[in-house]
Chain A
Amino acid sequence: MSQLAQALTLLAALAALIALAALYLRRVRMPRPPVGRFVRSDIAVMTVTLVSMPPIYLHLPRALTACAFGAVFLGACSMALAPVVGGRRGAAVTLTLGAFILTAHLAGWVPARIAAGDLLLALAVVGVSNLWAQTGMTAGQVAALAGLLAPYDLLATGLTSVTAQLVHHFAGMPLGPMLAVNDGTSPIGAGLGDCLMLALWPLVAAKAFGRAAGWCGAIIGLCVVSVVLTGPVAGWVHGGVPLLTGLGPCIVAQYAYWRTRRGPERRTVDWRGTAVEPSTDPFHEQDVAVALAIADQHRDAGWLAVAEGRAVGHALSPGGARRTAREAGHTAVPVVVAVRPHGTAAKANTPGGSGAGQSALSRAVGGGADAERIARVRQSHTGAGEVAAGEWPRNLG
């Protein structure tokens, strides 16, 4: 297979991986721990772990590294399959896949071993990226992780030989951390970290900012992969190319763009559409300051229920005012304010005054002539300390 064909195969595999992760996010709800969500410190722990592990792998025996990766991949694959086909079936499928990879490795069926290994890694990536996305990892956190890993990848892959040594170390290993198209010490493939970031970002972007952000994330990710693959295919670059160095800034830029355009990220509960918030403004945008200004025009002392810019109930107690409003047929919750004794609010509401009450009143009645009319009514009514007759609060009307 030519290098171009290999590169196109890898691109198609990564596109399939992203699509599978997105489909999984849409269709499958993963179990999550009783308490806990991703926080900043988790990103710090993950970054430290990801950066510190490669040198350790290099000093571990290949068999031990293969076993460690095998255990992680099989566990993640089983976790991904469990909600889809059931726990036992998922475990059985995973073990069968693991057994086939080992058999292929021992039998020397290289293409079969690579294909099965890629499938296992893809399923593991789908499971882990969905676990992170569904347990509350935010787009901001993924952007931070991408931002931290970008310079690291440049250092490990572009400027030093850490990644090259790792590839050499894992060459021919049955459960290596790479989505590879071919075998050997210089394969065309994407590392585990690259695959995770490519799959994860569209998920959290879609969750946080909507489907468009998810699509953009996926397309931009694949574009970065295409650009990166152009180097080896055209023969401009020999050896590893740091994918995250290109992908990281793209993710950070996308986050900045969507955050500016769409505002704060959606929570998981908003994304799922299961949020139980206080009813969408039960007061129907009735402003308290406006209600207070309306109450200042009321003749009788007590409490006034205000809805839709007008008084809908009056009583000697706040609960009573709400009740009279309900009895008058206003089922929506009104804003209830006290009618202040005349004189208390006089300074704020004198005609021509610039107090908050006056401006609120102007807004409530449309300003201009209406405001003046109400102000005149108020002026002509200057009794102080007056209250309506009635018991409290039995006779609430």
Chain B
Amino acid sequence: MFGTMIRQIQYGAQMLRGGRLAVSGLQGTVADLRATIEEFGEPGEEAAVMLPGGTEPDPQIQRTMADRRLKLTVRHAAAHVPYYRHLFAELGLNPQDISLDTLALLPPTPKSALRAASSAFVSVRSEPVLLAQTTGTTGIPTSVWFSQYELELAAALSAMSFLMGSALRSRHIVLSTISSRATLAKLTVQRALAMVGAGFIAMGTVDPRIIIDRLATPMRLPGKEPQVTHLIVTASALGGLVQTAERDGWDPADFGLWQILVGGEVLSDPLRSRAEEVFGAQVTDTYSMTETMPTAGLACEEGHLHLSAEQAHIEVLDPLTHTPAGPGETGTLVVTPYTQYRDTTLLLRYDTGDLVRRLPGTEPPTCSLRGMPATSRILGRNTNGPAELTQRAVLDRLQGERRLPLPTRYAVSPGPDGPRLYVVADRPSAALLAHVEKRCADLPLSGVVLLEDPDELPEPCRVRADLTEHSFELPSPRHQPVRSAR
């Protein structure tokens, strides 16, 4: 009790000062939290205050804290990161002049710059120990170096979030289908779950039939639930799972799933409903990316995306003008992770390219996560198409049509009369086309074309489910098993 109190006072002081956090103290707090849960079944009444957004902070205090953390981050980056040292010199900016009010003087950092030279963003005072490459679908991976401090910190924060946000306990078993090459996600989740005491199965992005089978497999383990309770999956891979489970007639009673944590891609409402229906588990939409780790977002019950303001400065900027988007307007998420959490690859005003819509009006949200800044959920990637034709808008319409295969593959291409939607279907027919056209009637499209072959799409539609890893678990068609003669 006394040790816990001292650690919490230390943590509070470190948060106020804005300097590095004592990882051992956080790990101790995770152990305390776990011991508390094991003794009492749940954390104390006011445990939520320990999570980002757990309280409704005074806006003035929040702004003062953000200003202090931002100044520290900008000064550190300008002094020790080659890219920003050069940028400040080129722009003739004095890092001391940059604050919350003058941040707009600094241009956003495009993703292309990080992709082109990731080492230019590594602080010369850091000790990089892990290169994490994104598994994005744009072809060129983004490389981000991390230090031991960052990895341990991210794991401890994730463990706290798992324990309090997701109510994960040591009796649970988590299965991850995230690609085995998504090093950071795998490493952080594994370390965090070890702190929680939960079981972890890293399956990788293998054939959906293998994953579904593993979800249904009973495991007789001491102190654990009999089947996998939590699934971590990307939205497109979830699509593959849903399709396989629906097609092969699996029943929710076959599984012991409690929660499906989806991230990495746009999760449409119809896909969420279908997943909840076939797996009998709650589906939670999350947002995170390697570059802005440990900043993470969570979708609330009212459909907002809430991002933690304690770990990064978050802006929503017009994709073209880079000026702040107004209420109800669409913009890209621009994130500046604070040096308190990041000391190796430092990014100032990093343009994620992920579109969101600012909430309309000035009234703050009233949802359970109202203490955290909110936007709409991710709408998709920033493209040159019409603003209404976001990935979310298209997927919300297509994934409600059960005759279309999952994961959904489509492309929007300019036509003589306007954008045209090309959709991959297993068995294109006039009836199916009519259905799809009806669903998409409110989108600014000049027409819909159904295709049987994904290769016929005017531009490739890559999804994370395509990162399929081989497995010998499924028998080769050439070696079909035979029953021996009796």
- A: which residues have CB within 8 A of B? 31-39, 41-42, 45, 135-136, 267-269, 272, 274-279, 282-283, 286, 288, 300-301, 305, 316-320, 322-323, 326, 331, 333-336, 383, 386-390, 392-394
Contact = CB atoms under 8 A, between A and B. Distances in A.
Contacts of A323: 216, 250-251, 254
Contacts of A41: 2-3
A283 B227 CA distance: 11
B1 to A, nearest CB: 5
A42 B2 contact: yes
A288 B220 CA distance: 8
A179 to B, nearest CB: 26
Nearest to B250: A323
Contacts of A268: 39-41
B213 A34 contact: no
A139 to B, nearest CB: 13
A270 B356 CA distance: 46
B217 interface: yes
Given A42-B2, A278-B225, A33 B248 contact: no
Nearest to A384: B484
Nearest to B30: A35
B218 A35 contact: no
Contacts of B220: 283, 286, 288, 335
A175 B256 CA distance: 59
A383 B484 contact: yes
A386 B1 CA distance: 61
23 contacts: A32-B40, A33-B5, A34-B43, A34-B44, A37-B32, A37-B39, A41-B2, A42-B3, A45-B2, A136-B39, A268-B40, A269-B38, A276-B41, A319-B213, A319-B215, A323-B251, A333-B218, A333-B226, A383-B484, A387-B483, A388-B483, A389-B480, A393-B213
A318 B215 CA distance: 10
Interface of B: 1-5, 8, 29, 32-33, 35-36, 38-41, 43-50, 169, 171, 209, 212-218, 220, 223-227, 248, 250-251, 253-254, 256, 474-475, 480-484
Contacts of A319: 212-217, 254
A32 B217 contact: no
Contacts of A383: 484
Contact of A39 (B1, B225, B226): B1
B222 to A, nearest CB: 9
Closest 5 CB pairs of A and B: A319-B216, A319-B213, A36-B4, A269-B41, A34-B47
Nearest to A277: B171
Contact of A392 (B50, B215, B474): B474
A37 B35 contact: yes
Contacts of B212: 319, 393
Given A283-B226, A333-B227, A389-B482, A32 B44 contact: yes
A56 to B, nearest CB: 19
Residue from A37, A276, A300 having most chain B Cβ neighbours under 10 A: A37
Contact of A35 (B50, B214, B480): B50
Contacts of B474: 392
Contacts of A283: 218, 220, 226
Contacts of A387: 481-483
B40 A282 contact: no
Contacts of B50: 34-35
B218 A336 contact: yes
Contacts of A394: 209, 248
A282 B41 contact: no
A313 to B, nearest CB: 11
Contacts of B4: 33, 35-36
Contacts of A279: 225-226
Nearest to B247: A394
Contacts of B214: 318-319
Contact of B36 (A37, A42, A301, A335): A37
B478 to A, nearest CB: 14
Given A136-B39, A326-B251, A278 B45 contact: no
Given A36-B32, A318-B213, A389-B481, A42 B39 contact: no
Given A36-B44, A276-B41, 13 more contacts: A33-B5, A36-B32, A37-B32, A41-B3, A45-B2, A318-B216, A318-B218, A319-B216, A326-B251, A335-B218, A336-B217, A393-B212, A394-B209
Contacts of B2: 41-42, 45
A380 to B, nearest CB: 11
A154 B481 CA distance: 81
Given A323-B250, A326-B254, A331-B253, A35 B481 contact: no
A135 B225 contact: no
A282 B480 CA distance: 35
Contacts of B47: 34-35
A272 B171 CA distance: 19
A136 B38 CA distance: 10
B483 A389 contact: yes
A322 B218 contact: yes
Contacts of B480: 389
Contacts of B41: 268-269, 272, 274-276
A286 B39 CA distance: 29
A243 to B, nearest CB: 26
Contacts of A45: 2
A136 to B, nearest CB: 5
A272 B42 CA distance: 12
Contacts of A322: 216-218, 254
Given A32-B40, A269-B41, A319-B212, A38 B1 contact: yes
Contact of B484 (A317, A326, A386): A386
Contacts of B223: 278
B39 A267 contact: yes
A305 to B, nearest CB: 8
A19 to B, nearest CB: 26
Given A39-B3, A283-B218, A31 B213 contact: no
Residue from A38, A336, A387, A393 having most chain B Cβ neighbours under 10 A: A393
A386 B483 contact: yes
Contacts of A317: 213
B240 to A, nearest CB: 15
A283 B479 CA distance: 35
A212 B434 CA distance: 74
A278 B47 CA distance: 24
Contacts of A31: 44-45
Nearest to B484: A386
B453 to A, nearest CB: 23
Nearest to A315: B213
A301 B250 CA distance: 22
A33 B47 CA distance: 8
Contacts of A393: 209, 212-213, 248
Given A277-B171, A320-B213, A322-B254, A34 B45 contact: yes
